[in-house]
Chains A and B, each alone.
Chain A
Amino acid sequence: MWRLRQLMKPRIGIGYRRGLSRWLHSRPQSVQCLEITAEHFFDDPEALNGIRKIGDLFVHGLGLSLGTPGPLDARTLRSFMKVVERAHPEWISEHVAFTRSAEVDLGHLNPIRPDSAALKTFVDHTRELADACGCRVLLENITSHLRLSGELSETEFLNELCRRANCGLLLDVTNLFINARNHRFDPVKWLHEIEPASIVQLHIVGYSRSDVRLEDQHCEAIQPDLLDLYCEIMKYAPVSAVILERDGHFDDLSGIEEDLRKLEAVHASV
């Protein structure tokens, strides 16, 4: 059993950011894979040639707005495909969210209502994306101040989406933790309602505190209570890869390496 777990040990990596470039090109042993943000390379996909040498790549999208009814934005999809073509990722990922409507581009992630209409939109868009890129698609849970109710619970929606669109789940541990605190539900119960085999990849970074709620500013060290939830997930699901999602405080490389060590230590103990 121990040997099996070692063999199934997930790869640990980090979200590629320009501020980390020099460190990542020194090939730190703690980084086994990288996730690039597709939009950062829309203007220069060739820049991925050097980054590919660092480790296995996953491509993560922010702006395809899979939750917007109607066709996907053709220009964004074409740019996304060019990045995928250059990166040769094992899988690609986007969010269970919308970022724009026909009238306005909000630029950031917003929740969708878990109903049959949204499910159909997501299934159609996810399949279209997978076909266009020739890759498996993972979809990520977001954090939001809005908690929308629909015909389905959030977990029913995600399970049904994975089943119908033949996609996997990129479970953002921090988003789950923040939503659970802000909207007062049990994250472990939520987790156990998700089909474990669908959880392929994780995102994690320390949460931030505002006056009234927790927030995802992507710049804090991983806190112990968040790590407890991470540990629960690692016991529950056969995760293939974990990405530390830092968007700031890049000068604190020792803090980033410490976070990577914390994740590694969990795998050794599970």
Chain B
Amino acid sequence: MPASDFTTVLARLLSESALRAEFTSSKERVLGGFELSRGDREGLLGLDACDLELQAQALVTKRRTEVASLLPDTFALLGIERSAALFAMYAETNWPDTHRRHLEDAVKFGEYLQRVGAPVSESELNLLRFRLQGRHFSVRVIEHATAKRRMRSALQILIRIGSRQRSAILFLGI
């Protein structure tokens, strides 16, 4: 059993809902799986299960709020309840780990939506990928862009000017 500490165990409890549920039903059993000092063990035993859940939810909500601000069209397509449910499922196993975490989170969530067949604004996702990759110019094909209330194919042109990115969409066949 590897040696652990208060912070490491708390981080796992906050990031793993299954471990949190097990902890709520039996703190002793979960903590038995970690080699902890007496003080750290006492501290973890003293955690309030409701507060722990609220803190865990707050972490996911903060991430979702940041991602929603980067993918506003996608969140509008999903609606409030579906976006919250899908983001909770995605967030459970995805924890970005760089200073560009909000951007990474948004791109990964968009890709997750594509994998599970949920609606996503392709142009929005392309723009975020473009920002993340740091390119100066890119052209992307969008299979399902909305024009005059109809879905059409389009070309998206992405340009970086200084630290700003610009995107223009040219609809095909109009």
Contacts and interface: CB of A to CB of B under 8 A. Distances in A.
A252 interface: no
Interface in B45-99: 46-48, 51-52, 54-55, 58-59, 62-63, 65, 95-97, 99
A107 B101 contact: yes
A117 B39 contact: yes
A113 B62 contact: no
Contact of B59 (A63, A107, A213, A217): A107
A188 interface: no
B14 interface: yes
A142 to B, nearest CB: 11
Contact of B95 (A47, A105, A147): A105
By DSSP majority rule, is chain A's interface helix, strand, loop, or mixed?
loop
Contacts of B47: 146, 148
A68 B7 contact: yes
Interface residues of A, number: 38
Interface string B1-44: 00001111011101100000000000000000000010110010
A106 interface: yes
A103 interface: yes
A149 interface: yes
B39 to A, nearest CB: 6
A236 interface: no
Contact of B15 (A106, A148, A151, A213): A106
Contacts of A100: 11, 97
B99 A42 contact: yes
A69 B11 contact: no
A270 interface: no
Interface in A109-138: 110, 112-113, 115, 117-118
Interface-centre pick from A76, A102, A107 (highest chain B CB count, 10 A):
A107
B12 A43 contact: no
Given A42-B99, A104-B11, A47 B163 contact: yes
B105 to A, nearest CB: 8
Contact of B99 (A79, A106, A213): A79
B99 to A, nearest CB: 4
B7 A67 contact: yes
Contact of B10 (A42, A110, A145, A217): A110
Contacts, number: 93
Contact of A145 (B55, B97, B101): B55
A213 B97 contact: no
A108 B96 contact: no
Contacts of B148: none
A147 B51 contact: yes
Contacts of B163: 44, 47
Nearest to B62: A108
A213 B50 CA distance: 13
B149 interface: no
Interface of B: 5-8, 10-12, 14-15, 37, 39-40, 43, 46-48, 51-52, 54-55, 58-59, 62-63, 65, 95-97, 99-101, 105, 163
Given A106-B59, A107-B63, A148-B46, 17 more contacts: A42-B99, A100-B97, A103-B12, A106-B11, A107-B59, A115-B43, A117-B6, A117-B37, A117-B40, A118-B6, A144-B55, A145-B52, A145-B55, A145-B58, A146-B47, A213-B54, A215-B58
18 contacts: A43-B99, A43-B100, A44-B163, A47-B163, A79-B99, A101-B12, A106-B14, A108-B63, A110-B10, A110-B55, A112-B7, A113-B43, A117-B5, A117-B39, A145-B52, A145-B55, A149-B46, A215-B58
